[in-house]
Structure 1
């Protein structure tokens, strides 16, 4: 490897506590972390609903793309809930609406040819609701579709949800948001109660597209979801969540695909993500506020998904202050979109203010073509945002296994970037091949017990 090899040996030797064992296998008798997956999936049971339909058109809904259907959705959802649950049905047509709030035992079902198209006037997403903005609790604009403390709730169908936020007023918020973002961070550090962290009208923190907050038994299935203002599907403090067979198209900044946050028993399967930011990003709150809430994301399975978008395909963080454990991703395909390439196939990102522990991220059978920045990147030096609010709280990242990765075309294969005060621990890469790699060197900084087993870069074994 030349100079790259010498640098590799330096940072992976005694000073960094690294361990490189070509041909090493799991210790005899060591538990396979993947043995936990059947138990997780057995607990993830999508909700079912009574066979009752409540067409939104029966409550004044008009699919002409012009009429405001906010009241029609509200009335249909209320009638469905009063009857004990069922489906609120959106037939073919374009149904313009402001914020839609779901309640327990309601499945909002969009039939083929049906489109819910959201208003571009921010006032249609008031009054404010309890939410999280980049991992900090606050009162802000309602997400476009929102459920709070609901049980048995779903979005299903073969239709479309269009946030209409690919440009226009919501994206005009971006250059104006920094003072509000700094204020929110400061309020959290000062311990101001959430009810007094009020934003919304007159402020510039964009809402997420679909948010389930403190919900149980959640299903999002089959839909074409497009043009969010911010994160697309965002379960917060939820349990038993299924996202399957959806297509997400989101471009611009801060437009992740699925962001399970402080949620457990989550299954994301059979989805396609063409995103301007991370595809699937596991989160658990930010900095002081994330540690105050203190609920980890745990027991999350992502499988049989395709990624065409920007930034990380399988990502953890950066908002992970409440902790993340037992994340599994398998049978993943990454390919370039028509004008985007994924930056990182696996991207774990944190910093010295976030704190929290990432314990157990496992990826296998991932195939990637043309990665833009680097295939596997685990960093504890992700950007520190804001003007220095909050104390230093060193994070922990440990127990990461990466098996049967096949990556063609990437600037580099693997980089581990820990802190001197908090080393990355126990990363194992096995049975993996990286080809057409610009820089064949492996970079390991401040990482302990790193193992490479049957890994090749540009046809040469990692030694």
Structure 2
């Protein structure tokens, strides 16, 4: 049955979404209709109406039906679109931004942002607009039109002064991101609210060139410190780990609340594309993430944040499509701020490492719901991970109606610097329902590769992975005798309607 129907409302657009329906005899179909207008029929748990009028009431009815056409549930309600907003076109006086990708427009665009309030929006029209770091504030709507590009420079000076941020689980001074909002405060309430970033355009960062420039600068600045570490440097992931932590992101939200990012392409960050730290109620929908070939090129990373949702998005990333985090030992254990109530649905991966949970998870991660996702082109599929030193927990992870190459929950040894937490991590209460695990992935070069479909490895006999349920799960076997499952230090596993099927036969039958 329907729970809450959540609504994202603009002057010209309504986006609706709701939680997954429990079902037994085939996925339900949803009919979403505007009275006297458009009707959308979908098996996804979201719908969007565009081209609407501002300050207008629309009667909406959502009907859920089973395969036989019987009505399972129905809801009707009225949605009032927002008022039309005053347009602050960055190319018009008094801003006078210049397109073409040669003139740096930071000052002009920032002035428009500073002038924006809840009755207006910052409008970036068609064309490429070169800029350095921009800082959003309460009640700002940034609209990047189709054909418009906010293009970040590759000069680190355009992202100074540094700001307080968090990278790979540690708070530190980092270069500003291209788009910034909020001020980092691990123990504070939200200090930046009600932000919208939308449109059909592109937000593109300085990419690998900015990444290299940052690491080169930090290597020189930190050379004495790095030398002083001696053999301890071997506990870091690689030689670029320490200097690379000062990189900005593409979009960095700190202590923000009520943020919508919709319809834009986010690409070419110097590290992660979208990072939400200590945030609440962040919704990202209808977006494309591109970062293949970018070092640490994650897509969407909630970090010690809650009530964050991503749906109807496409990922072509150079690292994890999604990475759910909550700090790194020992600092993350002390701050102790979990990441929780995360929803991921109708996501498609063209490439990327995984939907990752961890490995920075010292503050705990809980209540992650994943459904209707196509992750078969990722390297790992779902990757739940932590080092034995992390502490913290990962629990209450639920995946439904998804295709992916692997289900992995394991102890890892990389990125293992820092003093140990009080105990090894607690990994428990995972459910996989109506999931197909193929055992075939696209590797880091986008080449087809066979992997063990299921890998569960705990932190020792006293700290096993516990309470993992596989229900209505199909695992595809491979012709070269690759094992279907590998387990160590794992207890409380259950299997209901668990099938192993030949890879080629499954997809052949599925096409019928």
CA distance in structure 2 between the aligned counterparts of 1:343 and 1:182, rounded to whole angstroms = 37
Cα displacement (A) at 1:404? 1.4
**Unaligned stretches of 5+ residues in structure 2:** 12-81, 183-190, 230-242, 441-449, 504-512
Correspondence for 1:76: 112
- Cα distance, 1:74 vs structure 2: 1.2
The separation in 1 between residues aligned to 2:244 and 2:379, in whole angstroms, is 31
Q: Name the residue aligned to 1:95.
A: 129
Instruction: Pick the aligned partner of 1:379 from 410, 415, 419.
Output: 410
Q: Indicate if the aligned counterparts of 1:176 and 1:204 stay in contact, CA closer than 8 A.
A: no
Cα distance change of structure 1 residues 204 and 330 upon mapping to structure 2, 3 Å threshold = closer
List per-residue Cα deviations over 1:327-377 (Å, max 9, x = no partner). Answer: 0010011243xxxxx221111000122111111111111123xx4xxx111
Please give the secondary structure, in 2, of the residue aligned with 1:321.
coil
| Contact 1:413/1:457, CA 8 A, preserved across alignment | no
1:258-287 residue CA offsets vs partner (Å, 9 max, x unmatched): 001111111100000011111111111111
The residue that corresponds to 2:256 in the other structure is 215
Deviations 1:163-198 (A, max 9, x none): 131x324235558868969979x99xxxxxxxxxxx
Name the residue aligned to 2:290. 249
How far, CA to CA, are the matches of 2:170 and 2:9 in structure 1? 28
Q: Is the Cα–Cα contact under 8 Å of residues 106 and 154 in structure 1 kept in the other structure?
A: yes
Structure 1 residues 227 and 181: CA distance shift in structure 2, 3 A = farther
CA distance in 2: counterparts of 1:135 and 1:181, whole angstroms: 22
Q: How many angstroms does 1:159 deviate by? A: 0.4
1:50-69 equivalences under 5 Å are 51-58=85-92, 59-69=95-105
CA-CA distance at 1:407 after TM superposition: 3.1
Superposition map of 1:15-414 within 5 A = 38=3, 42=6, 51-58=85-92, 59-81=95-117, 84-148=118-182, 149-165=191-207, 167-171=208-212, 173=214, 205-251=246-292, 252-312=294-354, 314-336=355-377, 342-368=378-404, 371=405, 375-386=406-417, 389-391=419-421, 393-408=423-438, 409=440, 410-414=450-454
Question: What root-mean-square deviation, in Å, do the aligned CA atoms of Structure 1 and Structure 2 show?
Answer: 2.7
2:447 maps to none
**What secondary structure does 1:67 align onto?**
coil
Structure 1: how far apart are the matches of 2:316 and 2:387? 27
Give per-residue Cα distances to partners, 1:125-180, cap 9 Å, x unaligned: 00111111111111221111100131101210000111131x32423555886896
Which residue number corresponds to residue 233 of structure 2?
none
In structure 2, do the counterparts of structure 1 residues 259 and 354 end up closer, same or farther at CA, with 3 Å as the change threshold? same
**In structure 2, distance between residues paired with 1:389 and 1:407:** 36
Gaps of 5+ in 1: 1-34, 188-201, 337-341
Q: Secondary structure at the match of 2:391?
A: coil
State the alpha-carbon separation in 2 of the partners of residues 419 and 258 from structure 1.
27
Q: CA deviation at 1:204?
A: 6.6
Q: What SS does structure 2 have at the residue aligned with 1:332?
A: coil
Q: Quick one: structure 1 residues 259 and 46, their matched pair in 2 at CA, closer, same or farther if it must change by over 3 Å?
A: farther
More deviation, 150-159/399-408? 399-408
Q: Is the 8 A contact 1:346 1:376 kept in 2?
A: yes
- Give the TM-score normalised by the residue count of structure 1: 0.79
Q: Which residue of 2 aligns with 1:18?
A: none
